[in-house]
Amino acid sequence: MSFKTLLPGSPSPNGQPTTLGVMGGGQLGRMFVQAAQAMGFATVVLDPDPASPAGQISHHHIRAAYDDEPGLAQLIQRSDAITTEFENVPAAALATLAAQRTVAPSASCVAVAQDRVKEKAHFEQCAPISGVAPAPHAVITTDASLAAVPDDLLPGILKTARMGYDGKGQLRVASRAQLAEAWDQLDKVPCVLEKMLTLRAECSVIVARGADGQVVSFPVQKNTHHEGILAITEVFDGAIEAGLAQRAQASTVAIANHLRYVGVLCVEYFVVERADGTTDLVVNEMAPRPHNSGHYTQNACDISQFEAQVRALAGLPLPVPRQHSPTIMINLLGDLWFEPNAVRAQASKTPVSPPWAAVLALPGTHLHLYGKLGARPGRKMGHLNVTGASVTRVRETTAQALALLGLPALGV
């Protein structure tokens, strides 16, 4: 379907309010719904979970599997345009939707982001334009391709081509024997072996691209992971060296343009150390949607990544986002409801709410919880954005919030 501008608040041809649809009802869908509703759009979410974070707050919630034909038909009937909040939505479902409605990002763009093999090939095609290449790697799909892996990729990380996230579906290997064993352990599904790089830092860039090809970039965010999951994101001048940050932004724009991408795209990068001690940039992976590392935009920028997603989907203008405050985002995982066990939950397994009142007493703290009922270790429950007049102030407040939450200082 071709793109048309959808004006919020005006009725669509079938008489219902202009409605934006989203495949998936997790926290990213919820924050998309919130941004869409703030602008006056009605929303519809397709997600099988009756308690899904986005389903809870959307005008309509279709409780169906992502490949359920009656569910998809209902989504088409209710929506004027449709987006997705996760990359593993079945490609056939997006194709069904796209036959009758504007869908952004397109099924073909999502297919690239779903599969590390296609993703790496795309990054390599873009490298001459973007100036940033992926890590040295090899694709492993057969015993012969396993045997043909060059020695200089070891030690490395074996990653499943599909369905990996938050460090899942990855094994570190130091020798050929370990590599063979790891591939066995991953049931010999198609994989990518990447050379293990020495990382100085990790960063990511979010861009929004409209159907007219206009693309705008958010500032570069510096990310710190803990046990494979994003822990904090820091965004202010100097968090990432200026030259590298500019290259990361230009590379992300080139990657989006080359795909003729429409919507919000996040690309992750590694800052690596070369043998001579200088730094370089390596492109890691991309997400065809807003990203955990972009949540700071809600409170530190004049347009959030979710509003940008709404605007791109609705064919509305995309002015260049401006960051108006230095910021740090703290990810809030379910562990916080249990730890330190002895103090908060008296060593019981009953979840206890973290000390939100004390945290919110700190100036410049913005709490976002996703409405998930059951806290579980590792489950993403929310995030806390910290803003302030200066980097020093933001760091101080973040350190206080981390201490109140019993979290490690993580270099803040």
In this complex, which beta carbon is closest to ligand ADP, that of residue 89 or of residue 313?
89
From candidates 196, 316, 352, 362, binder to ligand ADP by CB under 6 A: 196
Minimal distance in Å, beta carbon 203 to ligand ADP? 10
Minimal distance in Å, beta carbon 287 to ligand ADP? 9
Alpha helices (H) along 131-221: 143-147, 176-185
From candidates 194, 234, 335, 339, binder to ligand ADP by CB under 6 A: 194
Q: Is the dihedral of CA 336, 341, 346, 347 positive or negative?
A: positive
From candidates 91, 199, 343, 360, binder to ligand ADP by CB under 6 A: 199
135 binds ligand ADP (CB under 6 A): yes
Q: Which two tokens stand for residue 121?
A: 């090939």
Minimal distance in Å, beta carbon 286 to ligand ADP? 10
Minimal distance in Å, beta carbon 205 to ligand ADP? 14
Q: Which two tokens stand for residue 390?
A: 């200066």
Please count the other Cβ atoms lying within 10 Å of the Cβ belonging to residue 196: 15
44 in Cβ contact with 78 (< 8 Å): yes
202 binds ligand ADP (CB under 6 A): yes
Minimal distance in Å, beta carbon 155 to ligand ADP? 9
315 in Cβ contact with 3 (< 8 Å): yes
Which residues, 6+ apart, have CB-to-CB distance to 149 below 8 Å?
138, 140, 176, 179, 193
Minimal distance in Å, beta carbon 292 to ligand ADP? 10
Q: Which of residues 217-246 bind ligand ADP (CB under 6 A)?
A: 225, 228
89 in Cβ contact with 66 (< 8 Å): yes
From candidates 284, 297, 299, 327, binder to ligand ADP by CB under 6 A: 284
Q: CA 35, CA 37: separation in Å to the nearest integer?
A: 6
Query: What x-and-dash track marks residues 245-274 binding ligand ADP by CB under 6 A?
Result: -----------------------x------
Residue 349 to residues 14, 51, 270, 340, Cα–Cα distance (Å)? 51, 22, 38, 11
Q: Is the dihedral of CA 322, 326, 327, 328 positive or negative?
A: positive
Alpha helices (H) along 150-231: 176-185
Query: What x-and-dash track marks residues 145-174 binding ligand ADP by CB under 6 A?
Result: ------------x-x----xxxx-------
> Which residues lie near ligand ADP (CB under 6 A)?
135, 157, 159, 164-167, 194-197, 199, 202, 225, 228, 268, 284-285
